[in-house]
Amino acid sequence: MRVAMIGAGYVGLVSGACFAEFGHIVTCIDKDAKKIEALRRREMPIYEPGLADLVAKNVAEQRLSFTTSLAAGVEDAAAVFIAVGTPSRRTDGLADLTYVYQAAREIAGVIRGHAVIVTKSTVPVGTGDEIARIIGDIQPNADLSVVSNPEFLREGAAIADFMAPDRVVIGTDDERAREVMHELYRPLADKQVPILFTQRRGAELIKYAANAFLATKITFINEIADLCEQASADVEEVAHGIGLDHRIGPKFLAAGPGYGGSCFPKDLLALLKAGLDFGVPIRSIETIISINDQRKRAMARRIIAACGGSIRGRTIAVLGLTFKADTDDMRESPAVSIITALQDAGARVRAYDPQGMEQARSVLNAVDYAVDAYTCAEGADALVVMTEWDMFRSLDLVRIRSLLKSPIVVDLRNIYRPEEMAKLGFTYVSVGRPQVGAR
């Protein structure tokens, strides 16, 4: 089948490459000409494990191509996906649907015959109706099916998530669209992946509700971690103990500096605001957002306390900048608030991240960037683990200790073991676990 994917970002590029891998003929369209030129040179605009190889393979086998021309890409497509960004609107926190509606207007200008338009972007409930209206206004005779097909992939594991998802959600009550979508996802249906057909509005809500629930789990365990610290318990034991209960499950129970990234913060805010528009204030979401916001500054205070109460004039080494490992995405990373708070308190920040430094330069000011973790630690007054990159788990900690001016480690991802850190002579502060070493 021919597929057009509008937006070649984290979601569009991964989805496009994976649909091509299923055997479909996919055209990825992006209005960012630099991105398209880079992709044509086989240069990936994002860091995502395995993506470069998957793209190269499918381009070589002529199932995947890139263009800036929406008309060329959409022509003859059995399904036209919209995978453009839906950031928070600065003025009111609602989802900014400018890019989605712009894409809809552009599609309206080129479609002929029956067209299946699929929203992959995360959009508020009712957006599908508006897309249908926009296209219908421009082309009153258009024979349209507007489908919601939200994406659940995680950056860093995006290809595996797309190829073996827990479920595929497809919101439509149009029989022709249902057939097209079923055919598109047939390779997954054949592997017994549940393909869940729902009403369009239900599909739109499933995405927001899923993200809100996951963010709630993270926020919950973070508060339990705070309690563990005061009650001399270990949050890792508590998380393991509750996660073994099948009704709860072990995922998203890692205590840390608070959730971030390109999805949770904006999606929770959008859900909250949409709720208000429907006259339904979702108090739990309001609380989760506020707890998470406060947590980031609290992490900065934790670092300052570990350094004896003041960091003015001190150098803090930060390992990891991205909101999680295996991505270069800096959007809404907790590192941004925490580093800014450290700078506000008078510290100099030196940082190292294996993939995130390029993006970090545009969101952080006055940070020195190191070439590796050891150079980052050299002469620093404390070391902070901000992101759980695997390479930080296997550092030579004896060497790190000898490089630091003071042997203070604040581990916001619990990647080291307190007993070992104590043995190595560190003052070690983590999250929801006993502090070791002298304060």
Ligand X SMILES: NC(=O)c1ccc[n+]([C@@H]2O[C@H](COP(=O)([O-])OP(=O)(O)OC[C@H]3O[C@@H](n4cnc5c(N)ncnc54)[C@H](O)[C@@H]3O)[C@@H](O)[C@H]2O)c1
Which of the residues are catalytic?
Answer: 263
In whole angstroms, how close is the CB of 21 to ligand X at the nearest point?
18
Of the two residues 33 and 371, which places its CB atom closer to ligand X in the complex? 33
Q: Does 89 bind ligand X (CB under 6 A)?
A: no
- Binds ligand X (CB under 6 A): choice among 31, 89, 114, 297: 31
CA distance 229 to 226: 5
Question: Which residue in the set 153, 180, 319, 385 belongs to the binding site for ligand X (CB under 6 A)?
Answer: 153
Q: Pick between residue 31 and residue 401 the one whose CB is nearest to ligand X.
A: 31
32 counts as binding ligand X under rule CB under 6 A: yes
The reply to whether 12 sits near ligand X by the rule CB under 6 A is yes
Which range binds ligand X by CB under 6 A, 83-91, 141-149, 177-185, 370-378?
Answer: 83-91
The backbone torsions φ and ψ at residue 133, rounded to the nearest 5 degrees and listed phi first, read -65, -45
Q: Show the site string, 41-80: x = touches ligand X by CB under 6 A, - = not.
A: ----------------------------------------
Least gap, CB of 266 to ligand X (angstroms): 7
Q: Alpha-carbon distance 129 to 200, whole Å?
A: 9
In the bound state with ligand X, the residue whose beta carbon lies nearer, of 106 and 411, is: 106
Comparison of 326 and 411: residue with beta carbon closer to ligand X:
326
The side-by-side arrangement of strands in the sheet containing 143-148 is: 64-67, 25-29, 2-6, 79-82, 114-119, 143-148, 168-171, 195-198
Any contact of residue 409 with ligand X (CB under 6 A)?
A: no
User: Judged by CB, which is closer to ligand X: 262, or 315?
Assistant: 262
The pair of three-digit structure tokens given for residue 185, joined into one six-digit string: 């996802």
Which residue, among 29, 7, 18, has the nearest Cα to 51 in the 3D structure?
18
Q: Is 83 in the site for ligand X (CB under 6 A)?
A: yes
The footprint of ligand X on this chain (CB under 6 A) covers a number of residues equal to 27
Is 351 near ligand X (CB under 6 A)?
no
Residues of this chain, 227-266, that bind ligand X according to CB under 6 A: 262-263
CB 220 within 8 A of CB 259: no
7 binds ligand X (CB under 6 A): yes
Rounded Cα gap, residues 423 and 416, in angstroms: 12
What is the Cα–Cα distance from 428 to 436, expressed in whole angstroms? 5
By the rule CB under 6 A, 30 interacts with ligand X: yes
What is the nearest approach in angstroms of ligand X to the Cβ of residue 247? 25
Alpha carbons 39 and 66: distance in angstroms, whole number: 7
φ/ψ region of 23 (left if φ > 0, alpha if ψ in -120 to 50, else beta) reads left
At its nearest, how many Å lie between ligand X and the CB of residue 423?
A: 39
CB of 37 to ligand X, least distance (A): 13
Binding of ligand X at residue 84 (CB under 6 A)? Answer: yes
**Are 200 and 131 contacting, i.e. CB atoms less than 8 angstroms apart?**
no
x/- string (CB under 6 A) for ligand X, residues 119-138? Answer: --xx----------------
In this chain, which of 21, 48, 155, 204 binds ligand X, going by CB under 6 A? 155
Rule CB under 6 A: say whether 29 interacts with ligand X. yes
Residue 291 C-beta: closest distance to ligand X, Å: 22
The residue of the chain with the least Cβ separation from ligand X equals 9
Q: Is 26 or 239 the residue whose CB approaches ligand X more closely?
A: 26
Give the shortest CB-14-to-ligand X separation in angstroms: 8
Q: Binding string to ligand X for residues 262 to 281, with x set by CB under 6 A, is what?
A: xx------------------
102 touches ligand X (CB under 6 A): yes
Verify binding: residue 86, ligand X, rule CB under 6 A. yes
Bridge partners of 147?
118
Residues 6+ apart with CB under 8 A from 338: 257, 296, 297, 299, 300, 303, 384, 386, 412
Interacting residue ranges for ligand X, rule: CB under 6 A:
6-12, 29-32, 35, 83-86, 99, 102-103, 106, 121-122, 151, 153, 155, 262-263
